[in-house]
Chain A
Amino acid sequence: MADTTQSPDQIDIELRSSIDRSLRHPVMFFFTSGAVWLAIGVLLGLIASAKKHMPEFLSGCGCFEAGKVDAAHMNALIYGWGAQAAFGVIIWLMARLSRKECRSSGVILLGGHLWNLGVMIGVGLILAGKGSGVPWMEFPAFVWLLLIPSYIMILIWSLVQFQIRDAGHVYISQWYLLAAILWFPWIAITSVLFVYHFEGHPLMATAIAAWFKSALFLLFFLPTALASAYYLAPKVSGRPVYSYSLAIFGFWALAVIGPWAGMQKLAGAPIPQFLPYVGAAAMILIALPAVLVGANIINTIRGNGEAVAQSPSLRFTIAGVISFILFGVLSAVLHTASSLKITQFSYTGYGLDILTLYGVFSFCAFGAIYFIVPRITRREWLSRRFISWHFFLSLYGISAIVCCAIVGGYFQGEGIEAWNQSFLEAASRAGSYGWGVTLAWFFILISNLFFCLHLLLMWARLGRRSSHPTLLKASHAESPHGPEGEVDNYGTANGPAETSAH
């Protein structure tokens, strides 16, 4: 008779293993298709940036006109990469934290395919000149009829898992995940209805579109990134969250301040005057959750410098958290009344957008991907050099983009403000900084080609069969996991782990 008694640890390991198995296909689908979209988005970003200072570049091809390629670049980054990376992180984290297997991976995969179809149609139509022209909502209106139902097909199961979780503590990561899942339909449905379907004043539709742009980052991408950071920092460093009260205060600060931001883009427009200034005040106040959350996570890993240096997940996550603090500080500086008039119509906004999407969200998402993928594929990352190049090229690229776009944009804005200068002269002030941005996109493109290739190899289960996680150091001689070997500690792809799971 087989021995059926299992220790709580073994039960726990088997539960985690079964959750990972149940989500293997949808999560890998979202991460790999997201990575492909990221490469496409970055390539389009490179072209869009080049066209800002070399308008004749690719001028023979109608689909690469500046307005089209810029919109396609942002939408591929947001909905192709960002949303899909967020889906993968949300469904895996919510299942793990709620300790429930996923029983609807087929529906999630179907939703994922529909989402990709929507993004493909949307980006294609933008390049064909059929985009709506609404910032960050450039997909034609009908594409949203595909995206919103597929979003529901993908994430509704995470809400169900949260609802049926075993009674007990709700982690701060779950707070953020739950908020992100519910806030996205709020901002998307409201904006799509008021911008495209309800006939209202076009100026208010513009204001709502500006709110959507801000809310999409602050209320969807940012909570997802912070959920991942609050999960990974204690998990990898082996220490509890520094202050749970601070974590909850940071969450509510974001929930209260975030929805007010966005309309500062319309300062001076004939809309009620309080709206842009409330938006600007909210953008200044965002520094509060940025500093609180940043300090909390950095204090959590304080004293674990070695872990940050060695663990790809933690290194990317901490880079994302530092970017969030930087975003908070820059946001506070660039949205004061004196700065706003200079930055409102310049390149600076682009720098902040890329800092949020790539510096904050993507870095945290990369950290999560480096943590999740070995667990669901039961293979370790093939090459620490690929990961190092991905990290350093991305870090260099994003730093260069933020510096060039914000500094260049500031000079450009000053030129626009100078009444005795032509607009062309003001635009030319940012020209050399434009070259810097193009070069930075090139570095980011190379880094993401490494990332995409690495991820595809992992999807094909060509990763290392090893008991050692891939750490960012020269050798594994001092690894606490023992000597390197062809040991598969995660069990087979179709069966539970036999020895341990990490």
Chain B
Amino acid sequence: MDHTRDNPLKRFSAFWIALLMIGLFGIACIILRPLTHARQETAYMIKGEERLQIRDTIDRAQKAALEAKKIDDEAVSSFAKTLNKAPSAGAMAVPGAAK
């Protein structure tokens, strides 16, 4: 039998080589990470700030347009008038109805 391969030094070096081989996968992942997770300029990143400003403007305009007083005075009253109107025959032809 060949015993030259089994000695404390060989075991010691074999242990560290084995540990390195296992650890190598983790090290490789960490090294490769910048390649696989490169910072990308997405449309969200480029236009994000501008879109938030537009949305802010729209929100403010909408808020102003929907003030309670205006709704009471104009929108509700015109809606109430429509509801109170007597029903009338529409212009659209209804199948089966008398002309």
Interface residues of chain A, those whose CB is within 8 Å of chain B, are 100, 152, 156, 159-160, 163-168, 182, 185-186, 189-190, 193-194, 198-200
Contact = CB atoms under 8 A, between A and B. Distances in A.
A14 to B, nearest CB: 13
Residue among A152, A168, A193 facing the most chain B CB atoms (10 A cut-off) = A193
Contact of A156 (B5, B15, B30): B15
Contacts of B3: 166
B36 A152 contact: no
Interface residues of B, number: 21
Contacts of A200: 36-37
A498 B21 CA distance: 41
Contact of B2 (A167, A185, A199): A167
A277 B89 CA distance: 62
B5 A194 contact: no
B14 interface: yes
The A interface is mostly helix, strand or loop, or mixed, namely: helix
Contact of A164 (B1, B5, B29, B36): B5
A159 B14 contact: yes
B30 to A, nearest CB: 8
B25 A156 contact: no
Contacts of A166: 1-3, 5-6
Contacts of A167: 2, 5
A317 B26 CA distance: 35
Interface string B34-50: 00110000000000000
11 contacts: A159-B21, A160-B11, A163-B5, A164-B6, A164-B11, A165-B5, A166-B1, A185-B22, A189-B29, A190-B25, A194-B36
Nearest to B36: A200
The B interface is mostly helix, strand or loop, or mixed, namely: helix
B29 A194 contact: yes
Contacts of B36: 194, 198, 200
A387 B70 CA distance: 86
Given A152-B19, A193-B26, A164 B14 contact: yes
Residue among A152, A160, A199 facing the most chain B CB atoms (10 A cut-off) = A160
Contact of B26 (A100, A164, A189, A199): A189
B69 interface: no
B25 A185 contact: yes
A166 B18 CA distance: 18
B92 to A, nearest CB: 34
Contact of A159 (B5, B18, B33): B18
Contacts of B15: 156, 160
Contact of B22 (A156, A190, A194): A156
B5 to A, nearest CB: 5
B22 A163 contact: no
A94 B30 CA distance: 31
